[in-house]
């Protein structure tokens, strides 16, 4: 009787999992194996792939544009991730002070983060204009002559970072929820020990939300390498001096503009390895610092 | 800045100053967050001659810009582009949201509430796939859809949504696991089939979780740009995101008032949805962002 039930369970289990078993095989495993194979071939859609060994990978190392996109992407991550982290946690901490009108502020901060990326790109193309864009007008009122944000290689990335900060509401909501989960008793204990607000923030609040920070950092690393839509729309051809040509954009160009599918696949695998390595680094770095509670 | 309300009455005054400062900072940032969107709306109703000027109040309010943006180029195209884009988007998004909710619920039921050999290994493998970035898979998946003759149709955009995705499976599996197993046992004694337990007991109890999955898949589908860019060829089949980009590359840099109107049209469905589902939105993001 029991054996019969287990068998029933097994049959149903497989049946219910069937969509994913198919999806996993067709849209994940098979493309993954195939792209690994393509990465060792010269493949241009019109002709069948020809095996060329490691040539795509060695070519990547000599491809100046590739190196440029790699450094652009790392630089952008190095600017945008810490800035986003500090700004979102800062706002979340302010909102967590039992301030009146919390829901109202939270909604205002949140709305920009749900603006579709294409609209977002249009809006900021308009705001960052060199000839009388709103950003520079505001800077002018405080006596700063704003740069040509989108037209100069030095300012294209900072412009994207600022746009990213504007869309930080999503992270604010996540951190705020994390902050609200910190047990009140810990603060009361800290009060008894005579801890001031700064001490409490450093020694109670931040350690308690460290798993959330870690998770968001990992997702941020993965996300930055896949940044595509906004720079693709705002900087056709990668912007001034290719300063806004990011990894995924060059991968897309290779695959669908230059029809170098083998090369693009190799880029995909390099991206995969980089993301994997960075994720491991983030996880290990925070291993000691992250506090998981009990 | 974790300033907690202090209870001692002697600190009341200091508290008041603190709170005022916090409000001042929050109001300052609120303005920064709101103003760009407001500026977009203002520009979208300005006459063409004022689009690049900095007056806050248009000398003349022109809601007709929206109609102009919607119908732009309709004479040569033979259809109103933004109405066509909106219809296309509605079809694609509906199919994606339905597929995502249905397929992930079914699969998560298997992982969360049924025992089968290899289940735990399969689940771990599923979680591991979240690490795989889409660009790695892009070329072979494109090849697959090309061989099927699907390039230029909506199918490459929505068909994959009907076969589950790792993050949603994870989310729903965790939720289904949290529901009491006694419910299933009792139903089984009453002779319910596994499907009936799933559809009549588990699904109704899981509405909030399913709504979160549906909401996020709606957002993802509305915002998707790369997919339509790769697969859609005929302008008549464009979605809103792709259509807006096409509009910009044709008339961008000049017709800012129309571009802002068109951008506002693309934002509208999401903002409207947000105001109706605010609580779900915020809770969903908090839960998924924390548990990961």
Give me the total of CB pairs closer than 8 Å, taking one residue from chain A and one from chain B. 294
Give chain A's mean pLDDT.
91
Judge contact between A88 and A166, C-beta under 8 A: no
Judge contact between A166 and A79, C-beta under 8 A: no
A contact test, residue of B105, B111, B119, B135 with most A CBs within 10 A:
B135
Answer yes or no: do B93 and B229 share one domain.
yes
Within 8 A of A201 by CB-CB distance, chain B residues are 1-2
Is residue A118 less than 8 Å (CB to CB) from chain B? yes
CA dihedral A235, A222, A23, B144 (to 10 degrees): 40
Is it the case that residue B1 has pLDDT exceeding 50? no
Range A55-285: architecture per CATH: Orthogonal Bundle (1.10)
List the domain range (segments joined by +) for residue B28. Answer: 10-71
Answer yes or no: do B197 and B163 share one domain.
yes
Q: Domain boundary residue among B71, B100, B122? A: B71
Answer yes or no: do B155 and B105 share one domain.
yes
Answer yes or no: do B119 and B249 share one domain.
yes
> Is the interface score ipTM higher than 0.85?
yes
Is residue B33 less than 8 Å (CB to CB) from chain A? yes
Give the domain CATH number at B250: 1.10.3720.10
Domain total of chain B: 2
The fraction of chain B above a pLDDT of 70, given in percent, is 95
Residue range A264-282, pLDDT digits in tens: 999 999 999 999 998 888 8
Residue/partner pairs of A124-128 with CB below 8 Å, 24 or more apart: A124/A159, A124/A163, A124/A234, A124/B36, A125/A150, A125/A233, A125/A234, A125/B248, A125/B252, A126/B39, A126/B40, A126/B43, A126/B256, A126/B259, A126/B260, A127/B36, A127/B39, A128/A159
Within 8 A of B289 by CB-CB distance, chain A residues are 170-171, 173-174, 177, 212, 215-216
Answer yes or no: do B34 and B86 share one domain.
no
Which burial class, exposed, middle or buried, applies to B236 when counting CB atoms under 10 A from its CB (0-12, 13-18, 19+)? middle
> What does the domain layout of chain A look like in residue ranges?
2-38, 55-285
- What is residue A50's three-state secondary structure? strand
Is residue A98 less than 8 Å (CB to CB) from chain B? yes
Cβ B289–A215 below 8 Å, yes or no? yes
Stretch A90-100: mean pLDDT, rounded? Answer: 90
Q: What pLDDT does B7 receive?
A: 52
pTM of this prediction?
0.92
Residue B5 lies in a domain: no
Residue B3 lies in a domain: no
Answer yes or no: do B59 and B141 share one domain.
no
Cβ A118–B163 below 8 Å, yes or no? no
Is residue B169 less than 8 Å (CB to CB) from chain A? yes
Within 8 A of A166 by CB-CB distance, chain B residues are 32-33, 36
Is residue B70 less than 8 Å (CB to CB) from chain A? no
Residue B285 lies in a domain: yes
Residue range A200-240, pLDDT digits in tens: 889 999 999 988 898 888 888 888 889 999 999 999 889 99
Residue B253 lies in a domain: yes
Residue range B8-22, pLDDT digits in tens: 555 678 788 888 999
Cβ A23–B103 below 8 Å, yes or no? yes
């Amino acid at each position: 009787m029991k054996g019969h039930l287990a068998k029933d369970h097994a049959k149903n289990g497989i049946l219910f999992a069937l969509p994913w078993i198919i999806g996993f095989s067709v849209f994940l495993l098979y493309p993954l194996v195939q792209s690994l194979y393509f990465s060792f071939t010269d493949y241009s859609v019109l002709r069948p792939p020809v095996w060329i060994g490691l040539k795509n990978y060695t070519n990547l190392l000599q491809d100046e544009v590739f190196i440029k996109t790699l450094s652009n992407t790392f630089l952008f991550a190095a600017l945008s991730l810490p800035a986003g982290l500090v700004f979102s946690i800062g706002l979340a901490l302010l909102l967590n002070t039992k301030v009146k009108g919390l829901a109202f502020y939270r909604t205002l901060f949140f709305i920009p983060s749900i603006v579709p990326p294409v609209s977002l790109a249009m809006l900021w193309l308009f705001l960052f204009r060199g000839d009388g864009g709103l950003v520079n007008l505001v800077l002018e009122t405080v006596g700063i002559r704003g740069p040509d944000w989108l037209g100069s290689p030095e300012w294209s990335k900072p412009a994207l970072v600022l746009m990213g900060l504007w869309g930080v509401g999503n992270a604010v909501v996540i951190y705020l929820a994390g902050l609200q989960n910190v047990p009140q008793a810990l603060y009361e204990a800290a009060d008894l020990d005579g801890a001031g607000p700064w001490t409490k923030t450093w020694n109670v609040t931040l350690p308690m939300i460290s798993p959330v920070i870690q998770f968001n950092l990992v997702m941020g690393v993965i996300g930055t390498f896949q940044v595509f839509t906004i720079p693709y729309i705002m900087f056709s051809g990668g912007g001034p001096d290719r300063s806004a040509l990011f990894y995924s954009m060059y991968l897309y160009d290779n695959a669908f503009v230059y029809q170098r599918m083998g090369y693009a696949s190799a880029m995909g695998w390099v991206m995969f390895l980089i993301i994997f390595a960075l994720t491991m680094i983030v996880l290990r770095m925070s291993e000691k610092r992250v506090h998981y509670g009990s | 800045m974790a300033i907690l309300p202090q209870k001692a009455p002697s600190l009341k005054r200091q508290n008041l100053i603190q709170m005022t400062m916090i409000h001042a900072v929050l109001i300052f940032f609120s303005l920064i967050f709101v103003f760009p969107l407001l500026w977009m709306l203002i520009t979208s109703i300005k006459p063409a001659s004022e689009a690049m000027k900095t007056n806050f109040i248009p000398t003349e309010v022109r809601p007709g810009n929206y109609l102009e943006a919607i119908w732009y180029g309709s004479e040569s195209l033979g259809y109103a582009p933004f109405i066509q884009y909106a219809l296309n988007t509605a079809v694609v998004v509906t199919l994606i949201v339905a597929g995502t909710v249905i397929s992930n619920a079914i699969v998560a039921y298997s992982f969360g509430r049924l025992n089968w050999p290899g289940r735990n290994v399969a689940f771990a493998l599923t979680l591991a796939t979240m690490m795989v970035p889409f660009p790695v898979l892009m070329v072979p998946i494109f090849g697959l859809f090309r061989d099927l003759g699907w390039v230029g149709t909506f199918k490459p955009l929505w068909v994959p949504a009907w076969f589950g995705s790792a993050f949603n499976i994870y989310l729903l599996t965790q939720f289904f696991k949290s529901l009491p197993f006694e419910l299933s046992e009792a139903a089984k004694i009453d002779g319910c089939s596994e499907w009936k337990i799933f559809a009549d007991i588990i699904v109704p109890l899981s509405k909030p979780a399913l709504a979160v999955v549906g909401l996020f898949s709606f957002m993802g589908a509305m915002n998707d740009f790369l997919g339509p860019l790769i697969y859609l060829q005929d302008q008549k089949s464009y979605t809103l995101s792709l259509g807006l980009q096409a509009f910009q590359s044709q008339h961008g840099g000049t017709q800012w008032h129309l571009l802002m109107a068109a951008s506002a049209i693309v934002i509208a469905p999401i903002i409207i949805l947000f105001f109706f589902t605010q609580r779900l939105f915020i809770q969903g993001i908090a839960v998924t962002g924390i548990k990961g």
